Amino acid sequence: MAVAFVFPGQGSQAVGMGKTLAVNFAAAREVFEEVDAALGSKLSGIIFDGPADTLTLTENAQPALMAVSLAALRVLEGEAGLDLARDAQFVAGHSLGEYSALAAAGALPLGDTARLLKRRGRAMQEAVPVGEGAMAALLGADLEAAKAIAEAAAKETRAVCAPANDNAPGQVVISGAKAAVERAIQLAAERGIKRSVLLPVSAPFHCALMQPAADAMAEALGEAALVNPAVPLVANVTARAVVDASTIRALLVQQVTGLVRWRESVLFMKEQGVEKLVEIGAGKVLAGLAKRIDREIAASSVGEPAEIEALLKAL
């Protein structure tokens, strides 16, 4: 069975994630210790014990989620002899999860990945003053409808508004200036979209307002020791496979302001023969989206010892 391993993005974090892995497996503890050392702070303490509002800060949540994903992966490698180069057809990650995927596939060292994500999170937070941007989920809208609504709202308000995440059929997230996103919610209701929800985020990710963060990441990635991954990466902004490090570097910069084409990415992997998606890390968001995108794809999540045992039996 052809398998792809996928890595979650922001919003999947929860206080206590990864703690049972660290308690039960030395390989997981070593990941958290290495991330703490790379950042020069005790991020693991915030991950395991909170407080939640500190963990949710973008500059903490991004490296934290990566650390949990890599801890779970290291346990799978140690306990099951998992070898991504041998066992995975593709890797992919949702937004920050793309960095987790690259670290998992050997394209980035763990410490460098943690530092890049800390910088990315801080740059994204600083790009737009708190309260000036917003994001909203348009539930029941497809990408074309969401684009039309966002374009109309942007035109009326003369402010940025654009699709940010095409997550699954009927779940598109828009991002931009607060006034434009609020107008888009009104337009969505007028156009028969069944429900629109403002998201509890601190910045308008994946839209043109993030250009200062993209510039910061262009500089940071230019200095990063990024090499070709051992497994092809299905990139967020193209929904196609890539293995060339220089191309990946450019795509990671584009990703900061670009649309996360997750629905298309999953469908691409299916078209290439993938029958099973395994989400590695905190939460079950991507496994849930996979089931909404195509019910023929088997999807599971692995982030706790019991889930690792279940995966070992399944593999």
Catalytic residue check, 300 = no
Helix (H) or strand (E) holding 138: strand 133-139
Q: Under 8 Å CB-to-CB from 73, ≥6 apart: which residues?
A: 5, 82, 84, 104, 280
CA atoms within 13 A on the CB side of 22: 19
Distances in Å between the alpha carbon of 23 and those of 20, 36, 79, 114, 148?
A: 5, 16, 15, 21, 49
First to last CA, the chain: 9
Catalytic residue check, 95 = yes
- Exposed (0-12), middle (13-18) or buried (19+): which is 53, by Cβ within 10 Å? exposed
Q: Are 138 and 149 in contact (CB under 8 A)?
A: yes
Q: Exactly one of 69, 95, 100, 196 is catalytic; which is it?
A: 95
Q: Under 8 Å CB-to-CB from 148, ≥6 apart: which residues?
A: none
Q: Are 187 and 149 in contact (CB under 8 A)?
A: yes
Q: What are φ and ψ of residue 76, in 5° steps?
A: -60, -40
Find how far residue 287's CA is from the centre of its chain. 13
Q: Under 8 Å CB-to-CB from 114, ≥6 apart: which residues?
A: 34, 35, 38, 39, 43, 63, 66, 67
Q: Exactly one of 44, 69, 100, 206 is catalytic; which is it?
A: 206
- The DSSP output letter for 284 is S
Return the active site residues: 95, 206
